[in-house]
């Protein structure tokens, strides 16, 4: 899966759950909340020590993070 595909997948999965957190807000607030959750998840993945030792994996998740920020 490409970083862009993974970024889209994460944001879409979290968008559904974000609605529960913010109530009946509009699309933009739901999308923003989903993006924030996705960025937090990627940051947690990047904080795992094994990712630091695997440069390809680290690069992949950094690219995913960049793609999420573009959404």
Q: What's the token pair of residue 60?
A: 């992949």
What residues contact residue 31 under an 8 Å CB cut-off, 6+ apart?
11, 15, 18, 71
Whole-prediction pTM value? 0.73
State pLDDT tens for residues 12-69.
888 776 665 545 544 445 567 888 889 999 999 998 877 668 888 999 999 999 999 9
State pLDDT tens for residues 1-19.
899 999 999 988 887 766 6
């Amino acid at each position: 899966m490409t970083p862009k595909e993974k970024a889209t997948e994460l944001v879409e999965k979290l968008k559904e759950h974000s609605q529960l957190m913010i109530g009946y807000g509009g699309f933009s607030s739901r999308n923003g909340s989903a993006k924030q959750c996705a960025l937090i998840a990627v940051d947690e993945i990047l904080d795992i020590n094994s990712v630091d030792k695997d440069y390809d994996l680290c690069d992949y998740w950094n690219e995913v993070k960049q793609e999420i920020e573009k959404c």
